[in-house]
Amino acid sequence: MSGMTPTGITSDETVVVSLEGALGRIHLNRPEALNSLNLDMVRKISDGIDALESNPAVRAIALTGEGRALCAGGDIKMIWQVGRTAPQEALAFWAEEYRLNARISHLRKPWLAVMDGICMGGGVGLSVHGSHRIVTEKTRFAMPETGIGYFPDVGGTWALSRAPQHFGFWIGLTGATIGAADTIAAGLADAMVPSEALPALLADIASGQTVESAIKAHAVDRGVSMLKDNAVLIDSVFASGDMEEIFAALQANGSDFAKSTLALLKAKSPTSLVLTLHLLRAAQSSASLETCFDREYATDALILNGHDFYEGVRAAVIDKDRNPIWSPAQLGEVDQEGLVSAIKPLPSLFSTATADDL
């Protein structure tokens, strides 16, 4: 992605904020960690937005990433380390991250998120709430949280719940990685631009072109969407409000796609699946993105007191044995009503949040 790298970049800056003509740039520069976000980076991005949004010379702001990713997620290792002993420290990270994500949705200037490469978890939170979302042939988009005993956060419950034909439910529950065509089909990106054309796209905006006209000039056909090809099945199965019903419907269908989807789900934390389905369904009827952030934040507090998040991160990131032992181990063993009722509302992260039942 050297063609997108701002001039004057130095290796010790994890977030590079720069101005190129009419274009403000926020470039994530922690490639060795796939630009995963820590608290310092969250604050630097926020400060960068402050500077660029208030600068009258800036017509638009572009978010890009160094190396193979825009951003592969948040600092789950830190949360794993402090979650049991200092849960307020973990919650403080989420609070600042969520406020930043929400702020992106209300920016007064176009926010161009360039999802060239890996864009997962925290990277999704920096992207999908923006006004203009670009994918490329290199895009690897996912909300893989059910695989680590967690759930799609960073406003993911809001964005996924609004995808057509329950595509977002499939994405959030399976944790599967998708490409450009499926990301656009799910309403989580707006256009596909070839990776090699990105420097020209950014240069056009820097020269004063509108973001819309520049995207239109460089966009290409997004190709075939696997989600669209299986839309009837996804829409019928994932409309259910019960995970066991979803499992049974996939089993009964018997198609290759149903079998592969069921295999993905069976590898995930049963607790995470129940929580994720509840949060997505609640988000469908929520009045605002902020309401969903508050609900996710309350669920964070519950997750920190549980088992599967620590086990999932251990297996994926700490020991890397890829063999989490979930507790409960089976979907039928999860006390679904008790789990959902254990989500206790916390004070809103936003002074203007819409009142809504958690």
Residue 231, classified by CB atoms within 10 Å of its CB into exposed (0-12), middle (13-18) or buried (19+), is: middle
Structure confidence at residue 7 as a pLDDT band (50, 70, 90) = low
Write the CB contacts of 338 (distance below 8 Å, at least 6 apart in sequence).
none
Residue 151 falls in which region: left (phi positive, over 0), alpha (psi -120 to 50) or beta: beta
* Of 39, 48, 111, 45, the residue nearest 78 (C-alpha): 39
Residue type, 326: W
Residues 6+ apart with CB under 8 A from 75: 36, 37, 38, 39, 93
Specify the pairing of strand 69-71 against strand 15-20: unpaired
For residue 346 the two structure tokens come to 């916390």
pLDDT at 357: 41
Distance, first Cα to last Cα, the chain: 41
**What would the pLDDT profile of 211-236 be if each residue is shown by its tens digit?**
999 999 999 999 999 999 999 999 99
- Are the C-beta atoms of 117 and 70 separated by less than 8 Å? yes
Q: E-assigned strands of the chain?
A: 15-20, 23-28, 60-65, 69-71, 111-115, 118-120, 132-135, 140-142, 191-192
Q: What is the pLDDT of residues 148-186, one digit of tens each?
A: 999 999 999 999 999 999 999 999 999 999 999 999 999
pLDDT (0 to 100) of residue 30: 96
Q: Is the C-alpha dihedral spanning 15, 83, 270, 320 positive or negative?
A: positive
Q: Is the pLDDT of residue 6 over 80?
A: no
List pLDDT tens digits, range 259-299: 999 999 999 999 999 999 999 999 999 999 999 999 999 99
- Residue 11: pLDDT band (50, 70, 90) is low
| Model confidence, pTM | 0.95
Catalytically annotated residues: 74, 122, 145, 153
**Predicted confidence (pLDDT) at residue 335 exceeds the cutoff of 50:** yes
Cα–Cα distance, 352 to 329 (Å, whole number):
40
